[in-house]
Every structure is written in C-alpha cells, then in structure tokens.
C-alpha cells in the first residue's frame, strides 16, 4: 500500500479487513477484494490472480495424529471447517487428482467464519485447513504451521476486485484496480499462478 499511496498521494484510502459480506452500494464502498467466487453478479468483477493453496496443520496436531502422506491416510484425521458469512456455505478440504475435484469432509470439532479464526484454530491443533500460500507465509516461516500432503494438488482460489458498475467511471477506482492487477502479476507476491 505505501507504493500506491506514494504514486497517488491525493487518493485517501479507508481500508477494512474482515470476512463479512459488504453491500458496496448501500455502504458506499468503492471496491472490495474477494477470495473465492465473486457471489454478486450485479458488480463488476476484475480477476486479479489464481492463488495457490496449501493443506496445513500445526506441528502439535501432527505429533498427536500423525502426518498423512497420501489421501488414504486422512482417515482418522479432522479438519477445521470454514463457514462463509456471505453464502453460508461450509468448506471442507478439496484436492485435485488429475483434473478431477475430490472433496473430503473430515470430522470437525471447530467451525469458524473468519480467516483469523481459521488459522488460529489450526494453530491450536484442531485439525487440517487449506488456505492460500500467501496468507500462510508468516506461520510457515515461524513454524506454527507446516504444509502436509505437498504432492497432492489443491484447487487454486480466485482473487477478484469487485466494484459497482457506476464506480467504473471513478478515476480513483480505475487506478487502484489497475495497480492491483500489476501488483498481483509481480513475482514474489505469492499471488500469481
């Protein structure tokens, strides 16, 4: 963000970080970034990236439950379930075998509706999660989470900028979204792919 504000010092940013659904028009919001499906078809959707996802667990969880090395070894494991505030959809684990999607719903003790809660529950040892690589970089570096099943592909997650159609005319929204597109395409962001 410092790069953007240096390029466009006349644009004042107000940033909210949460997983709740935002009614852009009613709340007067210019633009949102959404990971996953772009649920509202009345908005303009600008694809930014397809984010690589990882299957993750805490070292304490793996010490207690064992480290699976293939999908068959997931029997007896548990997951942290993510519940979308926007759609109410419950997300389990998903893997790609070839081009075929294989959803796997393991038993769960905890279900959460925020990304912060999702990571906290995983770090506390409640089970496996799947999340974008960029979002787990700190935990991976600190060793509070580790990647499991690295050889089993996980579907990528779309990252999209959404804004109301009338905001298309806004110069500030246009330059911000164009900047996001360029940012996501740069190597080293963990977002390209």
Domain harbouring 91, CATH code: 3.40.190.10
Mean of pLDDT over the chain: 88
> Among 16-20, 86-90, 136-140, 189-193, where is mean pLDDT lowest?
189-193
Same structural domain for residues 166 and 136?
no
How many domains does the chain fold into?
2
Q: Sorting pLDDT into bands at 50, 70 and 90, what band is 70?
A: very high
**For residue range 10-43, what is the model confidence (pLDDT) as tens digits?**
988 888 777 677 777 788 888 888 887 776 788 8
Q: Sorting pLDDT into bands at 50, 70 and 90, what band is 52?
A: very high
pLDDT number for residue 193: 47
Q: How is the beta sheet containing 146-148 ordered, strand by strand?
A: 129-132, 53-57, 146-148
pLDDT number for residue 84: 80
Q: Sorting pLDDT into bands at 50, 70 and 90, what band is 72?
A: very high
Same structural domain for residues 126 and 61?
yes
Same structural domain for residues 7 and 38?
yes
Asked whether residue 193 is domain-assigned, the answer is no
Asked whether residue 135 is domain-assigned, the answer is yes
Asked whether residue 192 is domain-assigned, the answer is no
Give the domain range for residue 64: 53-148
Phi, psi for residue 182 in degrees, rounded to 5: -65, -40
Same structural domain for residues 30 and 94?
no
Strands 129-132, 90-91: pairing is unpaired
Is the predicted pLDDT of residue 103 greater than 90, yes or no? yes
Is the pLDDT higher at 105 or at 58? 58
Is the predicted pLDDT of residue 9 greater than 80, yes or no? yes
Same structural domain for residues 29 and 44?
yes
CA 62 to chain CA centroid, nearest Å:
23
By the 8 A CB rule, do 103 and 94 touch? yes
Same structural domain for residues 137 and 76?
yes
> Among 43-52, 61-70, 144-153, where is mean pLDDT lowest?
43-52
Cα Rg of the chain, angstroms: 18
Convert 99-116 to b/e letters by CB count within 10 Å (16 or more is b): eeeeeeebebebbbbebe
Is the pLDDT higher at 138 or at 90? 138
- Choose among 137, 108, 106: nearest CA to 121: 108
């Amino acid at each position: 963000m410092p790069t953007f504000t240096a390029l466009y010092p006349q644009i004042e940013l107000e940033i909210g970080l949460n997983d709740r659904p935002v009614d852009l028009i009613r709340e007067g919001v210019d633009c949102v970034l959404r990971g996953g499906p772009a649920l509202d078809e009345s908005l303009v959707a600008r694809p930014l990236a397809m984010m690589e996802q990882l299957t993750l667990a805490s070292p304490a969880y793996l010490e207690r439950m064992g480290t699976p090395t293939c999908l068959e070894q997931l029997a007896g494991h548990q997951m942290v379930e993510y519940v979308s505030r926007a759609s109410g959809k419950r997300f389990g684990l998903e893997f790609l075998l070839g081009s075929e999607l294989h959803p796997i719903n393991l038993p769960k003790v905890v279900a959460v509706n925020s990304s912060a809660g999702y990571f906290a529950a995983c770090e506390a040892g409640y089970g496996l999660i799947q999340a974008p690589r960029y979002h787990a970089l700190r935990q991976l570096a600190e060793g509070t989470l580790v990647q499991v099943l690295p050889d089993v592909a996980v579907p990528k997650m779309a990252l999209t900028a959404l804004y109301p159609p009338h905001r298309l005319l806004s110069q500030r929204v246009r330059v911000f979204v164009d900047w996001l597109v360029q940012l996501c395409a740069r190597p080293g962001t963990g977002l390209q792919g």
